[in-house]
Chains A and B, each alone.
Chain A
């Protein structure tokens, strides 16, 4: 009966209740949305690289190395010798190595010079291997494999001819115009920076920079190389390389050996530890966002209580009548709490639906524009705890008008004044 009363009373005041419900819906959607984005971003962030034991680059900080080698952000402090890479890659504890030469781009997307081991050994997410949506890995010079987002955004298909630019800016004044590349493969989406990358062979990087001195192009056209000459091309420098070890136990020993490498100053980092450090730096922004959302939520809840308190004045007669027909004060207390429960539950359901619809609509844009692959279902292990905390807070705040009703019904008795 109390539920029927609460439901009908809310329906009777549907105008104000709808506004309260709307403000709570937006607040809960914000709370769940920010939490969802935070967790999805973290998942996406931590799944960028998986199964790689060490990342090696020129001597620098671990975040800088992580950012340019994994996230394609920023630049390396220096190059490293290909010869030293070969030396370290042939270490008996090393199972595989992926070389990376960065420094060129195509219409704002980073170019990564590598070899076939990249497609064979690189892992992301839960040890997932790169897969080809179309075509195959490059087999020679002037062949390119595109990340999913690059192909989608620029509308490239297999066989398309593309020109690489020197430097990593969106606009470059130095283009390798006389050495076009042919698209031979397009990777399946991964939700990682791989989607935003253009992959070529190390020999291709060497070919387009043939005759360059100290990062400056030679005067005139780069000479066209014969098939024979192309086969003989040998990379000289790299930007970084990833290592997979035969035994995880050896990780720290190998790291130390690389960091103490006499022939060249190198830095070896543990990607997991570097990712954790980077995420910790971003956690402050994340916490601020969460705090703002919580404040919005509390403001909405206070709004709900204010609406209920304002309604109490109008409902004085209603409460007195209920008392007269036998309602106990605690029943009136629970009547108001039930109304709070109905509003809160309604807000929660509509917030989840709103968020699902919003995420489903925004998913393609987030994926193609920002490389962020997120689930349309904003539900995580602790979402229930978040909603339970919201409900508890709502009921606690709702107890204020409920208690006042309880007190009022005791004090006023059957007397009804207008």
Chain B
């Protein structure tokens, strides 16, 4: 993936989504851009539409109107099959907790991402091993079943899996909610460091405002509609800054 600063990793134009029904929840983002390598923190209370936004950005749901592009490549509107393929190759997702397939080994969990992106497991094995090592998971753990790991170790496996295909975009959905403060901070640092090494843009969603200072940008869900263009900012100098 290109890692040129100020190149839009994620771009939304006239983005609009609404669930069916007259009084259904809707989301509207007229203009939204996120540059390559930027880390954005989105906070919002339960029911504010965080998960809906993530489903739309990852292409699980189709938007009602507008466009989403990833690295200049049109992601929505596209056919479901095309969206699935782009998601497998260009988007990594980290869940809240227990986000691994429990009966698979640590290594197989990571290599899942390669398989669904159309790569062979063998070609991605060295990178999976490198990521696991870099994230502090020793070799003797790689063949263990994921359920046998601690929560902290599982979170690291989840990051390795999300970054395996060097995605343009990493989406994290409250991945620290089950961790104590020390582990939470360690996790965030680890994730962002690895994302920086891969040149991956991070979109982190949480209700925990204590994490906001790790990110270049933070946004309120209800402020998204105002339009965000962090591209115009110098990302190195705005860490922890609050937009809007």
Interface residues of A (CB under 8 A from B): 1, 4-5, 8-9, 11-12, 317-318, 320-329, 331, 410, 413-416
Contact among A11, A318, A323, A325 with B113 in the assembled complex (CB-CB below 8 Å): A325
Asked if B104 and A8 make an inter-chain contact with CB atoms under 8 angstroms apart, the answer reads: yes
Asked if B55 and A321 make an inter-chain contact with CB atoms under 8 angstroms apart, the answer reads: no
Q: Which residue of A lies closest to B171 (CB)?
A: A414
Asked if A318 and B101 make an inter-chain contact with CB atoms under 8 angstroms apart, the answer reads: yes
Asked if B121 and A413 make an inter-chain contact with CB atoms under 8 angstroms apart, the answer reads: no
Asked if A1 and B115 make an inter-chain contact with CB atoms under 8 angstroms apart, the answer reads: yes
Please name all residues of chain B whose beta carbon is closer than 8 Å to the beta carbon of A324 when the two chains form the complex.
58, 93, 95, 99
Central interface residue in A1, A5, A9, A414, by most chain B CB within 10 Å: A414
Asked if B103 and A12 make an inter-chain contact with CB atoms under 8 angstroms apart, the answer reads: yes
Please name all residues of chain B whose beta carbon is closer than 8 Å to the beta carbon of A410 when the two chains form the complex.
60
Please name all residues of chain A whose beta carbon is closer than 8 Å to the beta carbon of B85 when the two chains form the complex.
326, 328
**How many angstroms from the CA of A126 to the CA of B170 in the assembled complex?**
75
**How many angstroms from the CA of A9 to the CA of B112 in the assembled complex?**
14
Asked if A325 and B161 make an inter-chain contact with CB atoms under 8 angstroms apart, the answer reads: yes
Whether, in the assembled complex, B81 has its beta carbon less than 8 Å from a beta carbon of chain A, the answer is yes
Please name all residues of chain A whose beta carbon is closer than 8 Å to the beta carbon of B96 when the two chains form the complex.
416
**How many angstroms from the CA of A9 to the CA of B102 in the assembled complex?**
9
Central interface residue in B89, B99, B101, B104, by most chain A CB within 10 Å: B101
Please name all residues of chain A whose beta carbon is closer than 8 Å to the beta carbon of B88 when the two chains form the complex.
325-327
Contact among A1, A326, A415 with B84 in the assembled complex (CB-CB below 8 Å): A326
Q: Which residue of A lies closest to B98 (CB)?
A: A317
Please name all residues of chain B whose beta carbon is closer than 8 Å to the beta carbon of A4 when the two chains form the complex.
108
Whether, in the assembled complex, B39 has its beta carbon less than 8 Å from a beta carbon of chain A, the answer is no
**How many angstroms from the CA of A208 to the CA of B73 in the assembled complex?**
105
Contact among B60, B103, B121, B173 with A9 in the assembled complex (CB-CB below 8 Å): B103
Between-chain CB contacts (< 8 Å), 13 pairs: A5-B101, A12-B103, A317-B98, A318-B102, A322-B101, A324-B99, A325-B113, A328-B84, A328-B85, A413-B55, A414-B58, A414-B93, A414-B95
CB within 8 Å for A326 and B116 given contacts A8-B104, A413-B60: yes
A112 to chain B, nearest CB (A): 68
Please name all residues of chain A whose beta carbon is closer than 8 Å to the beta carbon of B241 when the two chains form the complex.
none
Asked if B61 and A321 make an inter-chain contact with CB atoms under 8 angstroms apart, the answer reads: no
Please name all residues of chain B whose beta carbon is closer than 8 Å to the beta carbon of A11 when the two chains form the complex.
103
CB contacts between A and B, total, < 8 Å = 72
Asked if B103 and A327 make an inter-chain contact with CB atoms under 8 angstroms apart, the answer reads: no
**How many angstroms from the CA of A410 to the CA of B62 in the assembled complex?**
10
A379 to chain B, nearest CB (A): 36
Whether, in the assembled complex, B228 has its beta carbon less than 8 Å from a beta carbon of chain A, the answer is no
**How many angstroms from the CA of A317 to the CA of B146 in the assembled complex?**
14
B108 to chain A, nearest CB (A): 7
A261 to chain B, nearest CB (A): 81
Please name all residues of chain A whose beta carbon is closer than 8 Å to the beta carbon of B55 when the two chains form the complex.
413-415
Q: Which residue of B lies closest to A330 (CB)?
A: B81
Contact among B95, B98, B99, B117 with A326 in the assembled complex (CB-CB below 8 Å): B117
- Known A326-B116, A413-B61; further 9 A-B contacts with Cβ < 8 A: A1-B115, A322-B112, A324-B93, A325-B93, A325-B161, A326-B117, A328-B85, A414-B58, A415-B51
**How many angstroms from the CA of A11 to the CA of B145 in the assembled complex?**
13
A200 to chain B, nearest CB (A): 72
Please name all residues of chain B whose beta carbon is closer than 8 Å to the beta carbon of A317 when the two chains form the complex.
98
Asked if A12 and B116 make an inter-chain contact with CB atoms under 8 angstroms apart, the answer reads: no
Asked if A414 and B84 make an inter-chain contact with CB atoms under 8 angstroms apart, the answer reads: no
Q: Which residue of A lies closest to B111 (CB)?
A: A1
Asked if B51 and A414 make an inter-chain contact with CB atoms under 8 angstroms apart, the answer reads: yes
**How many angstroms from the CA of A410 to the CA of B84 in the assembled complex?**
11
B52 to chain A, nearest CB (A): 9
**How many angstroms from the CA of A322 to the CA of B95 in the assembled complex?**
12
Please name all residues of chain A whose beta carbon is closer than 8 Å to the beta carbon of B161 when the two chains form the complex.
325
Asked if B116 and A325 make an inter-chain contact with CB atoms under 8 angstroms apart, the answer reads: yes
Q: Which residue of A lies closest to B145 (CB)?
A: A12
**How many angstroms from the CA of A413 to the CA of B80 in the assembled complex?**
12
**How many angstroms from the CA of A343 to the CA of B220 in the assembled complex?**
50
Asked if A328 and B98 make an inter-chain contact with CB atoms under 8 angstroms apart, the answer reads: no
When A and B form their complex, which 8 residue pairs have the shortest distance between CB atoms, in order from nearest? A326-B88, A326-B116, A12-B103, A413-B60, A1-B115, A413-B55, A324-B93, A328-B84
Q: Which residue of A lies closest to B115 (CB)?
A: A1
Whether, in the assembled complex, B100 has its beta carbon less than 8 Å from a beta carbon of chain A, the answer is yes
Please name all residues of chain A whose beta carbon is closer than 8 Å to the beta carbon of B100 when the two chains form the complex.
321
Whether, in the assembled complex, B87 has its beta carbon less than 8 Å from a beta carbon of chain A, the answer is yes
**How many angstroms from the CA of A404 to the CA of B45 in the assembled complex?**
31
Please name all residues of chain A whose beta carbon is closer than 8 Å to the beta carbon of B51 when the two chains form the complex.
413-415
